[in-house]
Amino acid sequence: METQLTFRFRQPDEAAASELIAVLLRPEDLKTTPGGEPPQWVHPQIDEALLRYAEQGLFGARPLETQVIPTLGLISAAHVVFVGVQAAPSAADALRGAASVVARTASRLKAQSVEARMIRDIVIGAAGCEPGQAAQVLTEGFLLGQHRRQAERREPKPTHVVRHVEWTAEAGLNEQESQQLQADWVAGIDRGQVFAEATCYARELVNQPGNRLTPEQLAEEAERMAANLDIDFEVIDEWAAAEQGMGGLLGVGQGSINPPRMIVLHYQGAPDDDEVWGLIGKGITFDTGGISLKRAPGMEEMISDMGGAAAVLGAMRIIGKLRPRVNVVMVVPTAENMPSDRALKPGDVISTMSGRTIEIVNTDAEGRVVLADAMTVAVNRGVTKLIDVATLTGAVSVALGDVMTGAVTNDETLLQSVVQAGHRAGERIWPLPSDPQYRQLIDSDAADLKNSGGRYAGTITGGLFVGVFAEEKPWVHLDIAGTAWLTKERGWEGKGGTGVMVRTLAELLTS
């Protein structure tokens, strides 16, 4: 059963029927003037208790700070949670984070229904977010905050899901204003639900064990999604790939018993428009490193090496539901990178679909090799600008940790559009330089280029390798190796797959 989210205006003295009341507050909301009326949030005794906590320095409504107070029968709700929220400079992130805190508090208290009360500024857009945007980010934060990875157990542990969430605000506007705000909030909630569900879908794909999600199974999942959303689907198997000269995809996949696939989705929302977006997502369903074998500790997390594929599939899910007036070709090269007697070896030279040759100097730099053919597939299908998303390099984690996604581009205007979309989605992107000197690091003596430039500037050279196959079309590379997987939950991002870049791509293409 899905969580139902609604919005309404309530009367100041209206009793709550929910099991948990959440109140979003700023630090200034706790201040009382001498001789002035005390704040009225929930109930006089509960409000007074919170003010005592504030006077003692135990609660200051700082961002994401919480204070849970049992109601002891004073009202029908069993608990009230007060959550600190800060507006500027990043109001959307603050609201998204506050909503995730409410979700996790509700889960801990086993509440089935939640009423979240908001100050007037949040509702009318005076707190830094337009009403529709506030509704969207609060909805996203709540749904993403309560999402958890589902474990396979003989005796499954019960998971708590809040069944009903109601965002409420005290009535205090004229009828026309109330009707417009109501419409804005309903539309924002609907949009936020679509975005959050697609992100959770991507998370669940990333969290699938490698033996549950082979390249063929990922292609089947993409076909099911495309059929449900009325999006054109195409898959290129290993025989068709060989006929088309996809040496990059086949080379990486040849070490595994599970053959590779090239997945292509076509969405045409603006038939009269010549602009066609290309979304390319790396889909290595498991990465051992191949002959250049990775270390054993942490290798189990390499189920996340298809995080780029999950991101573009999640974005296409949003596009298929919202039906924006854009044209999109999505391409996912998917393979397993395994060591065997058939696997690529360091020193091998392969030919790609574009005709360029690659010297393989490190078989663990396989993502860029399959992306080379995927970029050519997209270009051959008429895309005019490209964005690739990939868990490409460990170097990006060294540079940016798990906080920001690294970006490389040949078009600053396109990059800034992506960065701004990431800002709206709460997914931070940091541009890296792409000077010609970096490109020289992947020149090869044995082929057109080699698949690794060595230790220095690894994220940049990995991105520039992919960019070679953009054929000088506007292109942005997003390296999510640090942000696609978390070892512990953070804000609205859960432990495991994060679904990063789903909402950024969707914001870019649907706004």
Distances (CA, A) of 369 to 210, 232, 283, 356: 20, 26, 12, 11
Burial label, 500 (beta-carbon count in 10 A; 0-12, 13-18, 19+): buried
110 vs 2: CA distance, rounded Å? 16
Instruction: Determine contact, residues 479/485, Cβ cutoff 8 Å.
Output: no
Which tokens in the block code for residue 84? 């600190």
3-class DSSP state of 273: coil
Would you state the pLDDT for residue 112? Answer: 93
392 vs 307: CA distance, rounded Å? 10
Q: Please state whether beta strands 449-450 and 357-359 pair in parallel, antiparallel, or not at all (unpaired).
A: parallel
Catalytically annotated residue among 96, 191, 368, 473: 368
First and final C-alpha spacing in the chain: 29
416 vs 403: CA distance, rounded Å? 19
Q: At a CB cut-off of 8 Å and minimum separation 6, what does 90 contact?
A: 128
Instruction: Determine contact, residues 328/267, Cβ cutoff 8 Å.
Output: yes
Closest among 204, 394, 450 to 309, alpha carbons compared: 204
488 is in an annotated binding site: no
Residue type, 44: P
Would you state the pLDDT for residue 431? Answer: 98
Instruction: Determine contact, residues 222/313, Cβ cutoff 8 Å.
Output: yes
| The CATH number of domain 4-170 is 3.40.220.10 | yes
119 vs 260: CA distance, rounded Å? 53
Question: Mean pLDDT, 10 residues at a time, over the chain (511 residues)?
Answer: 80 77 92 74 94 95 95 95 80 93 95 92 86 95 93 84 90 81 94 97 98 98 98 98 98 98 98 97 98 96 98 98 98 98 98 98 98 98 98 97 98 98 97 96 98 96 98 98 96 95 98 85
CATH number of 204-510: 3.40.630.10
287 is in an annotated binding site: yes
The domains of the chain are located at: 4-170, 204-510
Would you state the pLDDT for residue 387? Answer: 98
373 is in an annotated binding site: no
Neighbours of 64 (CB within 10 A): 14
157 is in an annotated binding site: no
Q: Which residues pair with 289 in a beta bridge?
A: none
Whole-structure pTM over 0.85, yes or no? yes
Burial label, 211 (beta-carbon count in 10 A; 0-12, 13-18, 19+): exposed
Neighbours of 171 (CB within 10 A): 13
Per-residue HEC secondary structure of 159-211 comes to CCCCCEEEEEEECCCCHHHHHHHHHHHHHHHHHHHHHHHHHHHHHHHHHCCCC
366 is in an annotated binding site: yes
Q: At a CB cut-off of 8 Å and minimum separation 6, what does 158 contact?
A: none
Which tokens in the block code for residue 338? 């395994």
Active site residue 381: no
Catalytically annotated residue among 10, 163, 294, 439: 294
Instruction: Determine contact, residues 320/351, Cβ cutoff 8 Å.
Output: no
Torsion of Cα atoms, 300 then 305 then 309 then 312, to 10°? 100
Instruction: Determine contact, residues 478/126, Cβ cutoff 8 Å.
Output: no
Burial label, 72 (beta-carbon count in 10 A; 0-12, 13-18, 19+): exposed
Closest among 141, 56, 60 to 98, alpha carbons compared: 141
In 3-state terms, the chain is what percent helix, strand and coil (to 5)? 40, 20, 40
Q: At a CB cut-off of 8 Å and minimum separation 6, what does 50 contact?
A: 30, 41, 59, 67, 69, 82
3-class DSSP state of 232: strand
Would you state the pLDDT for residue 156? Answer: 83
Active site residue 294: yes
Would you state the pLDDT for residue 160? Answer: 83
